[in-house]
């Protein structure tokens, strides 16, 4: 209910009943409780006068922004991005911290996170105690319900109870998840999937990530390690991947894969940045073009496999790096469409969403908002951490 | 609630409250209605005397078998398998009909289905009017909620409202779905997934099918054409598939794919049955072995992609054909396990379920039971047909 009000920003009770499928009487009872607890508030409706006369209600409900504050944080390679949101979901402050290392002991990472949050809250003139929950996005394999990290490129150790470590340090509830999952949460909360209950988000950064939303819920798999699109195999005994296996999609489309190919060519042997290779391809260099084109065709194949499995209504190709244009190209989307099972009904909508680097952190904040709302209403958290 | 009672066969109210998470008071109210409508009945508990003294209830609830009868039917290549189940889910009769053709006009297919059901009900001494619903499984791409067949190897036309055609002919509600989806329903209802809310069923027959169950629900995709594992691509620009595209999993593991390879080899040029090729491989023939081994490795790759995407707790390799042993082999399962993302927690359980050819039809009956239960309780069907 809170999530629904938050999504609409302002909504009359009668529309809330319609959008949730809950009876008007029950909506009235529940919202009375939420009003009493100060989680929501009534505001004057902005419905035009003439509609009011036709029996439209005079007040809307909205989330009371000051009820809670949450922090969203993305642990990236050599940086921490943080955002502060009020309970309405409005972003109040953001703060970015550069890190000297990219791989940490859990305690040292907790120190950095704690410092970053202090920096953020002091920017906003808030004390750290006024934060009700912290959402954390991290690359790697994460069991979100347990706050458990099987492995992450940001941690020296495997099998770290990072959620607990952070919670002990910060003294507030911490909600941890894989970063691509949190982009899916962000797309649902304030991105391009506000109206979609089922969709797939694919992120292209140093790796290929995926978030799956089915029936309004993130699908996380049994151990929290599904949605590994980057390590689905596109070639039997294919190119070596950084994960140690062969033929993974990432081994054909990631930056390192393109540079590996460039290293073979006499002409591009000294290319050290993917941007340079892409620019050579755009300028018509045949070898560079061959390298970049194959990455696109392999990516189309990986995308097609997702469509053949999920038949989603919407796929969002979501990322902050502008230089992945070659993977978002219309030729790639067309190749994907040519590789899926054909029926006489159009396939999924594919949209490209390029955003600033705060999207990851905003997804973590949206996750924290959902979980803090759950705690505010039920008194306990959904996850078992 | 009915499905839960059906799954347990007999269950006291108190356990029903626990297994459904519905309060005891509500369970009492709901089951009182079900008793009044004659959908369930009370039977003497089989709980041992000593447990009864410890306050265990004296009566169990069970489905009243005579309340409804449903038919399940599988439209196969040149045959129709049908089963008759009572409302408890007990199989009362089965009936198989050979067909002279394998591809039909919708009306002609409806004739055959109608005749097969008459044969089935007369075997059981029932009139066709005593059937409350018919579940139908058919190969192809099906929008189950609409009873709409985009295409099927059993139909000359594409885009057929087969559910409606059958319903007009039979005069009872018809519930149509893709046959592999119905195997997943069967595994959940009376197979190896009775206790699993999330699992994947993979069927290997002339093609490779898949059924996805998430949160106790079949996942059917947006247009009803997801779960197309057989047409996920395992090789860029790979072997030609019967679907017209290249590199599909089926183009490497289906019978026709193995025979295509055999046709290249001088030694096996005249082999016309896969069984002969498999037997040659078992006898150590190196070419036959090379053909069969690659099929296994490609199948392992397709399976690994499913694990990397869904991280399921259970995969059931389900089929009636004994000759697909090479795809169920432990080397194949091991190869799959070596190709998934590794974390320090065991991967999915993989079980092999070989069954008689009535499994398809029983899945269709289980689907009909669920839908007839829905109608009995709510007065309308879930789907929009």
- Is residue B199 within a helix (H) or strand (E), and if so which, with residue range? strand B199-204
Judged by a CB distance cut-off of 8 A, whether residue A350 touches chain B is no
Measure CB to CB from residue A150 to each of B141, B233, B343 and give the nearest one.
B343
* Beta strands across the sheet bearing B79-86: B91-98, B79-86, B69-76, B133-138, B174-178
Q: Quick one: what percent of chain A has pLDDT higher than 90?
A: 69
Q: Do B232 and A305 lie within an 8 Å CB cutoff?
A: yes
Instruction: Choose from B232, B242, B332 for mutation: most chain A CBs within 10 A.
Output: B232
**Contact criterion met (CB below 8 Å) for A368 and A135:** yes
Q: How confident is residue B385, by pLDDT bands cut at 50, 70 and 90?
A: very low
Rounded to a whole number, what is the distance in Å from the CA of A231 to chain B's nearest CA? 7
Average pLDDT, rounded, for chain B: 91
State the sign of the Cα–Cα–Cα–Cα dihedral A262, A265, A268, A270.
positive
CB contacts, 8 Å: A347 with chain B: 223
Q: What are phi and psi of B321, to 5 degrees?
A: -85, 120
Q: Is the pLDDT of residue B101 over 50?
A: yes
What tokens were used for B58?
Answer: 């004296």
pLDDT greater at residue A324 or residue A107: A107
Task: Enumerate residues 6+ apart whose C-beta is below 8 A from B106.
Answer: B155, B157, B160, B162, B165
pLDDT at B276: 93
Q: Which CATH class is domain A68-184+359-378?
A: alpha beta
* Interchain proximity B232–A308, CB inside 8 Å: yes
- What lies within 8 Å, CB to CB, of B146 at 6+ separation is B161, B163, B224, B383, B384, B385
Mean pLDDT in residue range B120-135:
93
pLDDT at residue A56, as a whole number:
64
Indicate which residue of A94, A143, A177, A179 is catalytic.
A179
Angle between helices B286-310 and B274-282 (to 10 degrees): 100
Digit-coded pLDDT (tens) for A302-316: 999 999 999 999 999
CA dist B166 → A104, B83, B106, B361 (Å): 64, 17, 9, 16
Per-residue pLDDT at B384: 47
Q: Where are the beta strands (DSSP E) in chain A?
A: 40-44, 59-63, 69-76, 79-86, 91-98, 133-138, 141-143, 148-151, 174-178, 199-204, 208-214, 217-218, 314-319, 349-354
In terms of DSSP H, where are the helices of A171-285?
179-190, 250-253, 255-262, 274-282
The pLDDT tens digits of the residues spanning A266-293 come to 888 888 899 999 999 999 999 999 999 9
DSSP state of B54: T
Among residues 267-306 of chain B, which lie with CB inside 8 Å of chain A? 297-298, 301, 304-306
State the smallest CA–CA distance between residue B98 and chain A in angstroms: 29
pLDDT value of position B51: 65
Cα–Cα nearest to B76, from B317, B324, B369, B359: B359
CB-based contact B311 A348, cutoff 8 Å: no
Residue B58: the pLDDT is 80
pLDDT tens sequence across A64-82 = 999 999 999 999 989 999 9
Of residues B50 and B146, more confidence is placed in B146
Is B203's Cβ below 8 Å from some Cβ in A?
no
CA–CA distance, A249 with A267 (Å, rounded to integer): 25
- pLDDT of A176 higher than 80: yes
Helices (H) and strands (E) in chain B, counts: 14, 14
What kind and span of H or E run contains B197? none
| H or E element at residue A29 | helix A24-36
Determine the pLDDT at residue B265.
86
CA angle B219, B319, B110 (to 5 degrees): 70
Q: Which residue has the higher pLDDT, B82 or A319?
A: B82
d(CA A310, CA B305): 13
Is B237 a catalytic site residue? no
Q: What is the pLDDT of residues A365-381, one digit of tens each?
A: 999 999 999 999 888 87
Residues B274-289, mean pLDDT to the nearest whole number: 94
- For B352-369, the pLDDT digits (tens) are 998 877 889 999 999 999
> What confidence tens digit (pLDDT) does each residue in B221-271 have?
988 888 999 999 999 999 999 999 999 999 999 989 999 999 998 888 888
pLDDT score for A354: 87
Looking at domain B228-312+321-354, its CATH superfamily turns out to be: ATPase, nucleotide binding domain (3.30.420.40)
Whole-number pLDDT of residue A384: 47
Structure-token pair, residue A301: 């194949």
**CATH number at B2-63:** 1.10.10.10
Q: Would you state the structure tokens that stand for residue A70, as one six-digit string? A: 């949450």
Structure tokens at B133: 């619903």
Among A222, A227, A310, select the one facing B312 at the smallest CB separation: A222
CB contact under 8 A, B158 and A344: yes
Closest CA to B131 of B174, B80, B189, B162: B174
- Alpha-carbon distances, residue A263 vs A64, A135, A266, A268, B329 (angstroms): 56, 40, 7, 6, 40
pLDDT of residue B3: 84
Burial of B171 (0-12, 13-18, 19+ CB in 10 A): exposed
Q: Do domains A68-184+359-378 and A228-312+321-354 have the same CATH topology?
A: yes
Q: pLDDT tens-digit profile of B50-70?
A: 666 666 668 899 999 999 999
Point out the residue among A226, A305, A345 whose CB comes nearest to the CB of B223. Answer: A345
Average confidence (pLDDT) over A110-114: 97
pLDDT for A385: 43
Q: What are B313-323's pLDDT values in tens digits?
A: 999 998 876 56
Considering the domain delimited by B67-184+359-378, tell me its CATH architecture.
2-Layer Sandwich (3.30)
Phi, psi (5° rounding) for residue B80? -125, 120
Distance from CA of A295 to the nearest CA of B (A): 11
Tell me the sheet residues that pair with A248.
A233
- pLDDT reported for residue B379: 82
Nearest-angstrom CA–CA distance, B93 and A245? 51
Q: Which long-range contacts (CB under 8 A, 24 or more apart) does A234-241 make?
A: A234/A298, A234/A301, A234/A302, A234/B233, A234/B234, A234/B236, A235/B235, A235/B236, A236/B234, A236/B235, A236/B297, A236/B298, A236/B301
How many CB atoms are located within 10 Å of the residue A356 CB? 10
Q: Which of residues 204-233 of A touch B (CB under 8 A)?
A: 210, 214-215, 217, 219-229, 231-233
Q: Would the pLDDT of B383 be above 60?
A: no
When pLDDT is averaged across residues B108-130 and rounded to a whole number, the result is 94
Q: A23 versus B170: which is more confidently predicted?
A: B170
| B288-320 per-position pLDDT tens digit | 999 999 999 999 999 999 999 999 999 999 887
Which alpha helices (DSSP H) does B100-237 contain, by range?
A: 106-123, 162-170, 179-190
For chain A, the structural domain boundaries read 2-63, 68-184+359-378, 228-312+321-354
> If pLDDT is split at 50, 70 and 90, which confidence band does A383 have?
low
pLDDT above 70: percentage of residues in chain B = 95
Distance CA A165, CA A173 (A): 11
Q: How large is the C-alpha radius of gyration of chain A?
A: 23
């Amino acid at each position: 209910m809170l999530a629904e009000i938050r999504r609409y920003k302002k909504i009359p009770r009668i529309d809330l009943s319609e959008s949730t499928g809950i009876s008007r009487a029950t909506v009235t009872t529940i919202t009375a409780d939420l009003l009493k607890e100060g989680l929501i508030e009534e505001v004057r409706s902005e419905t035009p006068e003439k509609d009011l006369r036709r029996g439209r209600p005079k007040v809307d409900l909205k989330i009371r922004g000051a009820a809670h504050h949450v922090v969203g944080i993305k642990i990236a390679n050599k940086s921490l991005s943080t955002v502060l949101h009020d309970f309405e979901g409005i972003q109040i402050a953001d703060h970015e911290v550069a890190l000297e290392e990219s791989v940490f002991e859990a305690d040292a990472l907790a120190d950095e996170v704690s410092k970053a949050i202090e920096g953020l809250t002091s920017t906003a003139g808030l004390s750290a105690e006024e934060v009700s929950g912290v959402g954390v996005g991290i690359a790697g394999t994460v069991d979100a319900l347990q706050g458990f990290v099987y492995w992450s490129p940001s941690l020296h150790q495997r099998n770290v109870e990072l959620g607990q470590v952070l919670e002990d340090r910060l003294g507030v509830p911490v909600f941890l998840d894989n970063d691509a999952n949190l982009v899916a949460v962000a797309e649902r909360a304030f991105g391009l999937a506000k109206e979609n209950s089922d969709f797939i988000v694919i992120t292209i950064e140093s790796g290929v990530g995926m978030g799956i939303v089915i029936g309004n819920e993130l699908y996380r798999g049994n151990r929290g390690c599904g949605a590994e699109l980057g390590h689905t195999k596109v070639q039997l005994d294919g190119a070596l991947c950084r994960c140690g296996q062969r033929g993974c999609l990432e081994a054909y489309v990631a930056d390192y894969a393109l540079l590996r190919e460039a290293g073979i060519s006499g002409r591009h042997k000294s290319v050290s940045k993917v941007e340079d290779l892409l620019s050579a391809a755009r300028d018509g260099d045949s070898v560079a073009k061959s390298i970049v084109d194959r990455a696109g065709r392999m990516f189309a194949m990986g995308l097609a496999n997702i469509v053949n499995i999920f038949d989603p209504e919407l796929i969002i190709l979501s990322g902050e790096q502008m230089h992945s244009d070659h993977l978002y190209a219309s030729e790639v989307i067309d190749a994907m469409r040519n590789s899926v099972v054909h029926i006489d009904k159009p396939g999924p909508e594919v949209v490209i969403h390029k955003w600033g680097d705060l999207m990851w952190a905003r997804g973590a904040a949206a996750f924290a908002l959902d979980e803090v709302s759950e705690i505010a209403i039920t008194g306990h958290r959904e996850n078992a951490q």
